[in-house]
Structure 1
Amino acid sequence: MDVWSEIFNFSDYAELLPLLKNSIIACVVLGIMGGMIGVFVMMRDMAFAVHGVSELSFAGAAVSLLLGTSVVTGSLIGSLVAALLIGVLGSRARDRNSVTAVLMPFGLGLGILCLGLYHGRAANKFGLLTGQIVAIDDPQIKSLIIISSVVAIGLVVVWRPLLFASADADVAAARGVPVGLMSIVFMILLGLAVAVSVQIVGALLVLSLLVTPAAAALRVSASPLVVPLLSTAFALTASVGGILLAAGSSVPISPYITSISFAIYLVCRMIAAPRQRRRTSAPVTA
């Protein structure tokens, strides 16, 4: 019973909620950005790459924490380096997975080394792995809004050619779309998105915002208009719902966000299951 009271305890909820204004704003911003970019992550089959970028982002943040410099800047540098390496060296899916698999243990190992050498607050170290949204301050929320806005505006500007290149790169190239440039631009935007997400949900759980909502949306629709809207709605539900539940407990926000995201995904799979069965059982006509 004590365990449940730590997970769900709303006795002081009314007093705590006004203190989470920055956290709620951060969740809304991340939900919108994560829902938008997650569609392209799934279309380009780059869920594994997101995890690789997050590990280098974690390493950059850990190095900055050890050196006493800006954690946000370190996270951004780590993310962008990883994103550009994956984008340049991994033009094909197999190469991309290989580069990602090489970067992941290096980033994680470097980050753990720096955290082991860091003798400051343990909460700072733990937050890089699992997030610390309840401790977000005004400078952090400003940088988060600025970077997320850059990502969202960048996606809007390149949405049509990027969508075409993600759906069928060969046909897009034949039609004159600069597929290589679109790949680099997307990886830069992805690096920025991962960097700000790591600051909130942590390096280990960033997939819950940048992958799971879009994966759920693609289960129930294939429309190029409906999928981004559903993905954004799912990401907002998970992020905002997570902070609202975490406000009434002593548990970090990350388990709530990941659990809500997973529950949405399961519901979407169940909704799509009958349609999938009908499709596979339909007779093939000559």
Structure 2
Amino acid sequence: MIEFLVEPLRYEFVRHALVVCTVGGALCGLVGTYVTLRGLSYLGHGLSHAIFGGAALSAAAGVNVFVGSWLWGLGSGVAISRLARSRGGRALRADAAIGVITTAGFAFGVFLLGRYGTVKRSLDATIFGSVLGVTATDQLLVAAVAVGTVVSILAWYRPLLFATFDPEVADVSGVPAGRTDAVLMVLLCGVILTSMRVMGVTLIAATIVIPSAAARFLTDSFAKVLVWSAVIGGFTGLAGMYLSYHLDVASGATIVLVQFTVFVISFALGGRTRRTRTEPVS
């Protein structure tokens, strides 16, 4: 058991990947709670694909991929929010707005891949994920995003909570819905970018949705759901990374499968707990 835990630590890139997977997984679970409770699970999937367009454009233009991808993701989020909130009876449903903007962004990225060969070589890890590309800089990046995310959630806890469970009443009550949505978009783009290097565009959405979905079976308290989501996301990121190393398989796929296993267990435990609570006392 000791050898199982210690052996991967001999390699610097694995140590970097373990940190990024653990902290990034916890962040995805934390922010994913707001996404899933709002019924916007497709948003995480869509934004990850839209951000790929920004990454491809940044690589083609020779600028910082993280900055370019983040700005592209924020722009996509604003466009989705505007389309869904358009007035005059012409607003799109949120799922339709997400589908239009994010698929266009992904298609743009694919177009650039086909047009510029150098872009393809530099973005293979972004599409499928790779622990080989994780560096010490990525560790610093995920640490900075973690601090920013926790501080933002603490500062915006009540507005985010209100807007999550009753957005219409929140809007009427003076809660700044536009700013609240913007905060969520910033946080979501940040966690996607910090985890995308390991998970890849194709699987990052799972790390946003599954931990929070599993946590909902374990407690009825929103604050505890946040904590459980972060714990599940961090644990599955760490465990999945260890398993992927020892089994010599893709890290992203392994992490998602570990998360799904935890989801099934939490579903079983949650159902049993609820049945116990509802059984009449004889």
User: How far apart in 2 are the matches of 1:118 and 1:28?
Assistant: 34
- 2:17 pairs, out of 12, 16, 23, with 23
User: How far apart in 1 are the matches of 2:165 and 2:266?
Assistant: 22
Q: Does residue 130 of the first structure (1) align with residue 123 of the second (2)?
A: no
- Does the CA contact (< 8 Å) of 1:52 and 1:82 recur in 2? no
Distance 1:82 1:121, change over 3 A: closer
Distance 1:158 1:12, change over 3 A: closer
Partner of 1:59: 53
- 1:153 pairs, out of 131, 151, 154, with 151
User: How far apart in 2 are the matches of 1:266 and 1:210?
Assistant: 16
- 1:214 pairs, out of 206, 212, 215, with 212
CA shift, 1:212, in A, is: 0.8
Q: Does residue 246 of the first structure (1) align with residue 212 of the second (2)?
A: no
Distance 1:177 1:111, change over 3 A: same
**Once the two structures are aligned, what percentage of the paired residues are identical?**
25
- Does the CA contact (< 8 Å) of 1:17 and 1:247 recur in 2? no
Partner of 1:201: 199
CA shift, 1:43, in A, is: 1.4
Give the RMSD, CA atoms, in angstroms.
2.8
Runs of 5+ consecutive residues of structure 2 not aligned to the other structure:
none
Distance 1:115 1:17, change over 3 A: farther
- Does the CA contact (< 8 Å) of 1:128 and 1:202 recur in 2? yes
2:49 aligns to what SS in structure 1?
A: helix
Runs of 5+ consecutive residues of structure 1 not aligned to the other structure:
1-9
Distance 1:280 1:15, change over 3 A: closer
CA shift, 1:277, in A, is: 6.9
Partner of 2:105: 107
Query: How many aligned positions are there?
Result: 273
- 2:228 pairs, out of 227, 230, 236, with 230
1:251 aligns to what SS in structure 2?
A: coil
Partner of 1:119: 117
Partner of 1:187: 185
Q: Does residue 73 of the first structure (1) align with residue 67 of the second (2)?
A: yes
CA shift, 1:16, in A, is: 5.4
